[in-house]
Chains A and B, each alone.
Chain A
Amino acid sequence: MPVRLAILALVRHKARTLLALLGIAVSAALLLDMVMLASGMKENFQGFLMLRGYQLRVAPKGTLPFDSDATIDSTASLVAAIRRLPGVSAVSPVLGAQSQTTSTRDSTITAFTLGIFPDVQGDYELVRGSDLTDSTSLVANERWLSETGRAIGDTVTLAVGYDPQLRTVLGQRRFVVRGVARFFYIAATQPTIGMTLPVLQAMGGSGRRDRSSLLMVKAADSADIEAVRSAIQRVSPRISAISLEGATEAVEQRLGYFKQLALVLGSISLAVGVLLVTTLITIGVNERAGEIAVLRAIGVARTSIVGQVVMEGIVLTGIGALSGILIGLVTAQWLERILSDFPGLPATFRFFVFQPRDAGIALALLAAAGMLAGIYPAWRAASLPIAGTLRREAVA
């Protein structure tokens, strides 16, 4: 009954109800988007790091993986020491460098190059062709193939630098393109290739001998990740062992602007929605003061009047919120497309991730806002003096 009365009261003024619903729906959409943005980045980033099950990263002391050109020295002995630690099931060293090659159109293409061990690597998945088999094989992403005009089976010459004094290229070698790979942590727009770690180290000369940019460490399922992280940290003072939580915290700190923006905008849209619904229902109560006084005069309890007015707020907010969730999913796609243009963002990364929990949070916040919005007009309706209101209405 209170729901029906609330709906009838809202239908009485169609134009204002429709406008209010539109406003609430857009605010709800914004709120949902902001909840998705605030929680989606964290969820997505954690899933992103765990793509191949490596829970820990080891980077040069004080840096995040690939955050600088800093490298870890004595990689072989470090990897061996970490492998010996209890709870460690795999260690994958990775070296990042730039390499140059000439395309079929005779232009120089610079590519991001990863040196890995194919049996333990967690950086790419093979799309077609075969994986690295020997010191002359390489895998490349689609972008590198399109920019160089090469295909699987082609032989290419790569170099990793140039000595301007001697006017010679450094570390020049010939490779055969064996396969096409999708690199998880590198932007799809970045030409990227992968080769075996010892080859890339050797191409860099003495400066890269036995060096790596990062170690990815997989702990056994039964292992205490934090204990393994601490043990790795104790192996060398020159490294930082970073857990999933540590990496997430560091990235969240960098992307904190978006999270805080989401919080501010979400709060403002909620506050404005509450104000609008309160105004709307208060004016509705004022217009229906005579009806409410009559209802009270014929014995309808204050609680019923309060229930009906609060229900009006909840119905208005509820319908607006449900439409808002649909609008929010559409606008999230639009905003995702904008943010996906961030330079260097891996193709698999998502800012807006829909989770039923997010929709639940948005709906719960809006339901609470609807109830809050109904409290003041409900109090006004319940405290109307019956005789005075009836006399005023009769005179009017």
Chain B
Amino acid sequence: MIPAWRGGLRGAALGVLLLSAPAAAQVIDSAPTRPAAVRTIALDARLATDAGVALGDTVRLSAIPGDSLGERAVVSALLGRRADPSEIARQEYRARLHLDQLQRIIGYGDRVDRFAVLSRGPEQRRTLLDAINGAAFGFKAWPSADIAVRTSRTFQVVRRFNRAIGVITIVASAAFLLCILLLKIDERRRDVAALRMMGISAGTIVKSVVLEAGIIALLGSVAGVGFGIVVAAIVNWHFQGVYRTTLAFTLVTPTTVVFACLLSVLLGVVAGWVAARRLVRVPALQLLGR
């Protein structure tokens, strides 16, 4: 296949040969017959479900919608959708055909859209790339890592967007947390006044209030982690249903949990310290409203 490439690929093993259909090959109809000469194809499981096609059914394939003379093929496999973020938003169906079969159906001649080349080792990769790129005008060879970087740009943007939203949410949450803790500690005015009048030192009161605030923040963040896990499960369940995929849209990772708990406890301790310092500076009788 494609002899001109052989010289350029000397020293390399040809891995996967891919051709994506430039024209959507269409499933015209299905019938439960299976002649021996008919080629096999693999269909997207979603397409099979939506079109009512089962394993062993014969379908007609054509690049022209409504063509009743399309090529017949037997469905020999059903493919699950890959958990690939780049395909999530695209609701198109996938079918896998033999390369020559697809080339014939869509009139593509002896052409492919891309090659995947497996090199024998990293040290030969550079030489191989240079050899392929120097071979001719009109195409370019890329290391898989570069392609991964280029194709992941979309997700980098989504990640940066989600992070930005996260920063805004953290600012709002921090203000709310500080406010609630100030309120909680302000409610303890009379207790603090009583402790001061009993001779407990300001330092001890501040420490106890800070400890209390830290414990409240920790308990709150633990409850928040539980809530987050439940919300993540609901979000995943919802989007996996919408996009018919096994891709996880939300992940509660140990890093996220540790970050959330640490931030929450830190804010709690700061709020507790600020509020306690304010309280112990006020004379005890004034705290009692005298």
Contact A62 B26 (CB under 8 A): yes
Task: Report Cα–Cα, A110/B286, bound state, in Å.
Answer: 79
Task: Report Cα–Cα, A110/B239, bound state, in Å.
Answer: 37
Contact A15 B157 (CB under 8 A): no
Task: Report Cα–Cα, A20/B242, bound state, in Å.
Answer: 37
Point out the residue from B107, B179, B238 that lies within 8 Å of A16, measured CB to CB: B179
Contact A100 B164 (CB under 8 A): no
Interface string of B159-172 (1 = CB under 8 A from A): 01100110011011
Interface string of B230-247 (1 = CB under 8 A from A): 000001001100100000
A169 to chain B, nearest CB (A): 6
Give how many A residues have a beta carbon under 8 Å from the other chain's beta carbons: 58
A89 within 8 A of B: no
* Segment of A45-53, A337-345, A354-362 engaged in the interface with chain B: A337-345
- Residues of A contacting B3 in the complex (Cβ-Cβ under 8 angstroms): 165
Contact B137 A100 (CB under 8 A): yes
Contact B153 A341 (CB under 8 A): yes
Contact B164 A162 (CB under 8 A): no
Point out the residue from A62, A100, A167, A280 that lies within 8 Å of B179, measured CB to CB: A280
User: Within B117-145, which residues are at the interface with A (CB < 8 Å)?
Assistant: 135-140
Contact A238 B66 (CB under 8 A): yes
User: Within A124-181, which residues are at the interface with B (CB < 8 Å)?
Assistant: 159, 161-162, 164-165, 167, 169-170
Contact B23 A71 (CB under 8 A): yes
Which B residue sits closest to A71, measured CB to CB?
B23
B92 to chain A, nearest CB (A): 8
Asked whether A164 and B2 contact (CB < 8 A) given A29-B168, A169-B137, the answer is: yes
Contact B168 A339 (CB under 8 A): no
Contact A26 B172 (CB under 8 A): yes
Interface string of A13-36 (1 = CB under 8 A from B): 101100110110011011001000
Point out the residue from A13, A167, A264, A339 that lies within 8 Å of B136, measured CB to CB: A167
Asked whether A19 and B178 contact (CB < 8 A) given A30-B169, A237-B66, the answer is: yes
User: Within B12-28, which residues are at the interface with A (CB < 8 Å)?
Assistant: 21-24, 26
A143 to chain B, nearest CB (A): 17
Which B residue sits closest to A19, measured CB to CB?
B179
- Residues of B contacting A343 in the complex (Cβ-Cβ under 8 angstroms): 150, 153-154, 157
Asked whether A30 and B172 contact (CB < 8 A) given A16-B183, A162-B136, the answer is: yes
Task: Report Cα–Cα, A164/B173, bound state, in Å.
Answer: 61
- Residues of A contacting B148 in the complex (Cβ-Cβ under 8 angstroms): none
Which B residue sits closest to A170, measured CB to CB?
B138
User: Within A368-396, which residues are at the interface with B (CB < 8 Å)?
Assistant: 396
Task: Report Cα–Cα, A169/B139, bound state, in Å.
Answer: 11
Task: Report Cα–Cα, A167/B7, bound state, in Å.
Answer: 13
- Residues of B contacting A335 in the complex (Cβ-Cβ under 8 angstroms): 161, 164-165
Contact B175 A255 (CB under 8 A): no
Contact B183 A26 (CB under 8 A): no
A84 to chain B, nearest CB (A): 22
Contact B161 A338 (CB under 8 A): yes
Task: Report Cα–Cα, A63/B22, bound state, in Å.
Answer: 11
B176 within 8 A of A: yes
A69 within 8 A of B: yes
25 contacts between A and B (CB under 8 A): A16-B186, A20-B175, A20-B179, A23-B176, A26-B168, A26-B171, A26-B175, A62-B26, A108-B137, A108-B140, A164-B136, A167-B136, A169-B137, A253-B91, A254-B89, A256-B242, A257-B89, A272-B172, A283-B187, A331-B164, A334-B164, A335-B161, A335-B165, A338-B157, A341-B156
The 10 closest A-B pairs by CB, nearest first: A162-B138, A69-B22, A23-B175, A26-B172, A19-B179, A254-B89, A61-B65, A164-B4, A237-B66, A70-B23
